[in-house]
Structure 1
Amino acid sequence: MTDSVFNLDFEKIAGEKLLQLMGERTPTSIALLDRNYNVHYVNDRLASTLAFSKDEICSKRCFELTGKDRPCPGCMMAKVFESGEKVVSMRRQTRKDGSAVVLEIHDVPVKKNGRVEKVIEFLVDKTRILEYRDRLEQDFLSLIDILAQLLDSKDAYTARHSRCVRDVSLALARKLGMPREEEFRMEVAGMLHDIGKVGVPWDILNKPGRLTDEEFEIIKVHSPRGAEMVARLDRFRDIGPIIRSHHERYDGKGYPDGLKGEDILWEARIISAADAFHAMASRRSYKDARDREYIKAEFLRGSGGQFDPRIAQAMLELLDTEELSDAGGW
C-alpha cells in the first residue's frame, strides 16, 4: 500500500461501501472503527491475519479482541481522533489461536465537516520480515564470533578477550540504561574492537614485555584499520567509528584522534572501560592477573581521566556484585 493511499482524503469518497469495495481488492488488512472503538468493517485479509471471523471482530470493540476491558494506554487511534492527523505505529497483536503477529498500523482519520468521525486502519503484517531480520542478525553474530576466534588464535593474550570485552561492555551498557534495541551494535563493536590487529606482526602482539615506542606506534594503527575494515560492510558502517575510538581517553590523552569527553562516542567509552578491565584481570607473561580490589582502585583513580566518570561508577557497582566474576576469572 503506497503513501498515496494512506493519505487519501476520506471525507471526499462515497462512504463505507466504497471502502468495502476497495478493501476486498487489496492485499493490505483494513479496518474501520468509530470513536467508541467499535469495529464497523474489516476485510478478509485482516480476518485471516488475526485468525478471527469477520463477525467475531465486528461484534466487539477492538481492545476486547485481546481480552482487555479498556483501551490500551497511549492508544494510537485515540491520538488520531484528538489530532486529526494520520499516525503510524508498530504493535504486537495476539491472534485467536494465541500466536502473535507484529503489525505496522497506519491510522487514517475519516472526517465529516472537518471533524474526525471514524478511523481507517491499514495494517501491514511485518512478522516474517522481523523474524528474518532476527535470524540474519544471529547469522551476523555467528560470523563475528568466527572472526574473533581467528583473531584470538593469532594473539595469545586475546584468547577469550573479544568475548570478555563484549560481555563486560553489554553488562555496563545495561547498567547504564542502554535501550535493548541498541545492544546489537554494542555486541558487534565489542566482538570486533580489535579486528584491526590482524595486520599487526605476530611477534609484536605476543612480545613478552613492554613495547618499544616504534612497536607501540605500529599497535596504535589497529583501531583506525579495524574501523576501515568494518566500514566496508553496509550493515556495520556505524560500528566503524566506535572501533576507531575505543582507545580514546576521557581526558583527551588517548589515540588515534585525541578526542576528549563527550566528543568520544558513548559506546567507545564503554568498550574502553571493558577493555581496561580485561587487561587488568588477565595474566600476561610479564604480570599476574589483578584481583577485584586492585581493579576497583584503578577505576576510582582513572575516573575523569582515562574513563568517563559515569562508566567508571557503573564498573565499580558491577565489581561489587558477582556479575563480572566469569570475565574476571574469580
Structure 2
Amino acid sequence: MQDSEFAYLSFEPKQAQALVAACQALANLGGPQTPGVAQLARTWAQRLERQLHPSQRNVLKRFAQGRLAALMYSQMPCPFSDPLPSRLPELSTLERSTRCLYLASRNQLLLEMVRYRAFAFDSDNDGKQVRLIGNFTGQANVPSHHQDTGPAPRAAAHTGVSLDPHTDAPYQCSVVACQGSSPAPSALIITARWNPADEPTHIIPLRGIIEQLSSVHTLALTSASFELSTRHHGQTQQDVEARAATSLLQFDPDGGFAMRYNASRFSLSKYASKAAAQAFEALQTLVSEALPIPFVLHADTALLVNNSRALHGRNTLQDGRRLLVRLFGYSAFAKPLVINEDPLLVRG
C-alpha cells in the first residue's frame, strides 16, 4: 500500500527542454510574485501537458485528485551552472538571484500541472510566495566535528535543527476557511538549490496510519479535543497563543481525509474525552513507529507533498549550505479568505 502513496514523474529530454524554456520565461518576468505570472504559468503548464505521455498525465491526475501522498519530479536539468558557495549568501541576495527565481518559477509551473495555485499567507514569510529554507542563523555552514556551536538554535526551518513530522500550518481547517483563517496548504513543493551532503526530506504517508486506528479512535480524532502550543520563532502566524481546541482529522467529500498534525506542538485539551486521549496516544505511537521515506533533493528534482495526507520532516542538518526553495499550493477544492487575487494572497 505504501508504494501506492508515492509516484514519480521523469521528464524526457525534449519535455525537459520545453520546461526550461517555460521556467526561464516566467523567471525573466520576476517569478511567482509578479502579477500576471500565475496565468502564464497555467498556460505553459497546459502546453507542456500536451507533450506528456498518457502514463505521465495519469500520475498528475492521481495527485490532483488527492490520491497520492507525494510526487517526485525528476530529470529537470537547470540551464546554467551554479557553484556551491563556502557559506550561504544573505537571504535578500538569494531572493533576487537568477537561480532562485528560476527554481521558484519551476515550482509554480509544476504546481499548475496538477491544477494547484501557488499562494502565500499574509501572516507568513512577509506575504511572499517564495520561501527559501536554509540556515540563516550564522551557525557554521561547513560541517565540523570539533566546533562548539554554542546554544542549540530554536526549532524552526531556518535554523538547521531537526523538524519533527508535521503538516504545515494553519491547523484550524484543511479545505474551507473557518474561524477567520484560511485552510492549511493543500500541498507544498520543494526543490534544492544546494544539498551538498545529500540530506533527505522525510515523508510519512498517513493513510496507512489512519487505517491502523480503530474506528472509535478515528472518530475521536475528528473531535475538537486537541490544542496547539505557542511556537517561538520569526513567523508571525505561529507566534500567537494557542487558539481554541481543534480536531486533527476531518473528512471532505472533495479532498478525502485531511490530517492536521505536528508531533511537537499538539497536546490534549483538558476537556478531551477518554476516547480522544486514547486516540491521541495511539496516533502518536503509530507516527513514532512509522518508517519515514527519504527523498534527497537537488536542483534537477522537486518534491510535491500532499499536506493533508503526508507528514514531512528532517534530521538535524550536517551541512548548513543546504538551501531549499518552497511554494505552497491550493487545490481546486480549497476555499481560502482571499486578500489579493494576483499574486494570490490569503488571510493566515
TM-score bracket for this pair, using the shorter chain length: under 0.3
Of Structure 1 and Structure 2, the greater helix share is in 1
Of Structure 1 and Structure 2, the greater strand share is in 2
Structure showing greater radius of gyration is 1
TM-score (norm 1): 0.25
TM-score (norm 2): 0.24
